[in-house]
Structure 1
């Protein structure tokens, strides 16, 4: 029996035992097992079938992910130099293994043989989908290439994997490195009390006096939004906007990595016979071609632009009223917050006092329990950090159906942002159903001064969003590993359940039950809620245009941009801004250098999917508006036709089965206050 916790495949990961030195022995052993299995299956004289060929590969894939998944997770949430080294070393080995696997013509031919056999018709829809996905995957993995091109294709895959990881590390290192001390509290006028307290505690933890600010969001954002000290806002903005660029340490500069990544992706696509990487990326998505995506974004931009221009005109007028002769990038958040407070007579800070962590979580779970007919309760499991926790989801009969980990606070060594990831995927085995387990990770402010953690309404929305992804993974009813939960779901449909869940954060009957003022315990007053709703679409035009800007930038970079030309990614972004932006950041802003979604996070030529899926989610939610916000009937339909189906059928089929028709733009524009 192995003592290596990464080679334990029953039950939950042993996070309390995993050490960096466990990684290489476990991964090397599994890769060796994997290569032996591939050889055995590839050379077997037996006619390939689901049982003797596909199932063993599925079983091994699941086993490998059970070992590697916790390593990747810990690398993201409790990063140390030792763990990072082990992660990167083994990431290279795994990339090599998967490259060989995806190019093995012997395996490819066996999948094709099953697809062409009489057995194929007898398989379940999920099994057929897996084989179809595999056949496509081999084509896109270079299995049909001649030997020399296969070798180059493999080199590219390894380099892309290495460079993507380095891109993320540079941002994390730069973010962790930046610290700015303010000695005098008088220089922090306007900053909310809890942000001030957190800054004082951060300084104390470093053995310093005064107030310490970092580029982690819970520290950075309150300064940008509330602090009257314009010079401090500029200092932080400049540091944040130039992370991992030529303005930071040379070894953290992502500029050369961007150029390399774009060249490699283009070469990869061209080896496979595509004109550009965007075409390759869309081969596995709902959208058919780069032009279709661009047309979609252009249509949305035309509808949103007039609202965005109105937003900016109002903001500039208000900035001059505040005495800013020229509004700078580091003033935008500050002026916006002041304008919002004047227009709607409330601040984010005031609202935040009504959202203590426990109340928010209870409210979220109540929504999920009501519409999906499940129950959520906290339970015990080995954890990677004292701030993490673990929960069980059960059905009406109290039978467990899924589990999830929750890790909500920002800290050093944890990468920024919020995400859901798979820990264990639901599937049927000889001993029964293996239940799904999810990771839900955010970067909110931790509790300070003995008070509970308080969440802004935006953070509440983020939590609901990530939980939507989690539900997609956890409420699946698919028994086959490769299309269970979010596996096999088209990338531009993955955001449907997450964005759908956000809508509940704007419903009085939901929100009032998840609020209790941190001091008085009082529920959120209806008058304050009404102001929040009135302010919901405050600057919606500006925000929509900004998302379109990022999406067009991404699509152009990966379709029409020539990385060998004298132009840079930054030049392309400036061209896109000429066309759609209503607010221009300073010329020294280096947004691309920290745009890890598209350079390190799988969203290359796919960032548009946020907007694409928003159309789906707004339209899906409109059924709840028709049948009742907490309608169990609508919830049951959404659970059965969307969440339960996982990747076992095309996302459009699932949407039509749920809604009875194809999606329309109208609900999204109405929700954003942009309906004509």
Structure 2
């Protein structure tokens, strides 16, 4: 039987991939790579040749890329089209991949070969991206435990393997808990207050489950309108409870998908791994490969932002409480009330809601407007292809061209559905690199969970969904517009994690620019762009409760970083630490049954462990980078070209701080971020 995962294709053959293909393909590639590497090292030793880029680093890159191209579609399908059989096949490969990664990272002979290449006369003749790749490899050997004695190497490998299993299980529990709960509503009056678009979606969800009336699920497009618009406080509380207790020991599915023990074991193993490498905490280990210089610097950065934002956040919540009491007689504001009354206050103050904007943001108009925005900045063309091998009818496929040449391509998968992981993300399908047969072009996956089309209407996005789409597309451009041709520093590869959000957050700015919104928006029936009156209201409301939003992000970032910095061998009370963080920065009401941490996949199943601060860290960079466009023109071609040349195209070839200063002409300043968020820094304080 031929195996599509072993065929070195330009794009994945999704329609041909079966769960039964996965483990045999990965096993075959891992064993082949082991054999190739052993032969390569033996040949170098026998010949006495000094390792060079061509005889050593290049073939290893080729083999790594073959493995990456086989595993990438498997990981993608596991996220967007989950099934029991695929999940089983995916999980069966995690220990194999972890073991292989540990073997490579702890291979002393291989590490010594890289050291010999660095020490050779050739090193000085190599390109910057080749030199950076070698330096990063040597750093990563150390972080993989190559310097440890044999018994500790083995323990390090066991930890890595176990962590890959635990983090995958954490993610599965969240997915299963999300889809295990739904609320069936037959009395339409329970949905009083909801806009028609939300009701239509809930009716469509009921039809999909072959039920009458309406169904609320824990997918974001379904539950969010309940918490924002439903007049029924009882319904809001029920949905809120189901959402904040998922994957925990309490709530509607209490104990069924409980992540409590997984969190403890993950933290314990991460701490042990850091200890083995000589770090005092996992946070210190995390920062070792990031832009931030130390754990203390990160904590100082977060605390400083909290000091600047909290006074305004306290004023904002006080205003909300006073409004809820005066206008609605609500004097006991609970978490499930905050979104509801905030929306009422926004309506009163600015006479605008997300629903007013939605008709002007039909998905196809938005996509074309996004392409035009980027084309105006970087002179690109976008071509949709309908004849491609797909995995779901929702998926679309586009190519990016410049001056008649194809640069890259990407899959776009926008809508929430069963068996699809929540959230939004960009992932790598193919990496730009030089090969023996020519240049391999980059390919990306762009995934969101928006409200799907309802009935005959096109999908209509909220402004929040618009910014999410631009955010993920910013990541995609970082990956796809790279000019690097060494895989390890091409696109987002090799970019410090706390700088990787710069291009994504940067692109969001155009969602608020009148000049851009003129063609990003267009009424789904008339084509009329967003009227000036609505635009003025949107811009006026942009920073509504922005300090509350800022301290919420700081709560997540401080919880994550302190958890990974303060955890010690005797264990930690995760809930107590979260409560402590909240006591210091949170301004909204909290409840003792909230188990937010049990579904915090970013840090327990994603790449953000002791790194969630990256969102705020990179927001400083992105706001400051955009301030140059504010000074020189938001569609200034020369400024766009400079951003492309200095940041997007450079991948991980140079330090993120160096790239930023090359573009901005100076070190980053936090002032533009505070200004963009509408946060007033108290007199006498410096930004």
TM-score (norm 1): 0.98
- 1:245-296 residue CA offsets vs partner (Å, 9 max, x unmatched): 0013424100101100000000000000111101110000000111100111
Question: In the alignment, which residue of structure 2 is the partner of 1:264?
Answer: 269
Output the CA distance in 1 between the equivalents of 2:232 and 2:399. 46
Given that residues 259 and 563 in structure 1 are in contact (C-alpha distance below 8 angstroms), is that contact kept between their aligned partners in structure 2? no
**Equivalent residue, structure 2, for 1:152:** 155
In structure 2, what is the equivalent of residue 303 of structure 1?
308
Q: Hey, what does 2:37 align to over in structure 1?
A: 38
Structure 1: where are the runs of 5+ without partners?
none
Q: Which residue of 2 aligns with 1:632?
A: 637
Aligned to 1:10: 9
Secondary structure at the residue paired with 1:268? helix
Look up the match of 1:384.
391
Q: Deviations over 1:588-631 (max 9, x none)?
A: 00011011101110101100010000000000001111111111
Corresponding residue for residue 507 of structure 2: 501
> Could you report, residue by residue, the CA deviation over 1:363-386 in whole angstroms, capped at 9, with x for unpaired residues?
100011110111111013211100
Look up the SS of the partner of 2:399 in the other structure: strand
Does the alignment pair 1:104 with 2:104? no
C-alpha distance after superposition, 1:527-548 (max 9, x if no partner): 1111111110000110111111
| Bigger shift: residues 247-256 or 172-181 | 247-256
CA distance in 2, matches of 1:340, 1:277: 41
Question: SS at 1:519's partner residue?
Answer: coil
Q: For residue 563 of structure 1, report the CA deviation from its aligned partner.
A: 5.4
Instruction: Provide the residue aligned with 1:492 in structure 2.
Output: 498
Moved more, 244-253 or 5-14: 244-253
Name the CA distance, whole Å, in 2 between partners of 1:561 and 1:263. 8
Hey, what does 2:80 align to over in structure 1? 77
Distance 1:519 1:643 in 2: 37
Equivalent position to 1:199, from 169, 187, 202:
202
Q: Which residue of the partner structure matches residue 134 of structure 1?
A: 137
Cα distance in 2 for partners of 1:501, 1:377 equals 20
Cα shift readout 1:374-432 (whole Å, capped 9, x = no counterpart): 1111013211100000000000x221000010000000100000000000000111222
Residue aligned with 1:420, SS: strand
Counting only pairs closer than 5 Å after superposition, residues 191-590 of structure 1 correspond to structure 2 as: 191-247=194-250, 248-321=253-326, 322-379=328-385, 380-395=387-402, 397-562=403-568, 564-565=570-571, 567-590=572-595
Matched, 1:652 2:657: yes
2:220 and 2:449 in contact (8 A); partners too: yes
Deviation at 1:39, TM superposition (A): 1.1
Contact 1:262 1:563 in 2 (8 A): no
User: May I ask how many residue pairs the two structures share in their alignment?
Assistant: 673
User: Root-mean-square deviation (CA), in Å?
Assistant: 1.0
Distance 1:12 1:504 in 2: 31
Partner of 2:596: 591
> How far is 1:572 from its partner?
0.4
* Native 8 Å contact 1:5 1:14 kept in 2: yes
Whole-angstrom distance in 2 between the partners of 1:430 and 1:27: 23
TM-score, structure 2 length as denominator? 0.97
1:521: how far off? 3.0
Structure 2 unaligned residues grouped into runs of 5+: 682-687
Structure 1 ranges of 4+ moved more than 6 A: none
Q: Contact between 2:333 and 2:589, CA under 8 Å: does it hold in 1? A: no
| Structure 1 CA distance for aligned equivalents of residues 477 and 517 of structure 2 | 20
CA contact (8 A) 2:321 2:331 kept: no
CA contact (8 A) 2:12 2:73 kept: yes
Deviation for aligned residue 1:53: 1.2
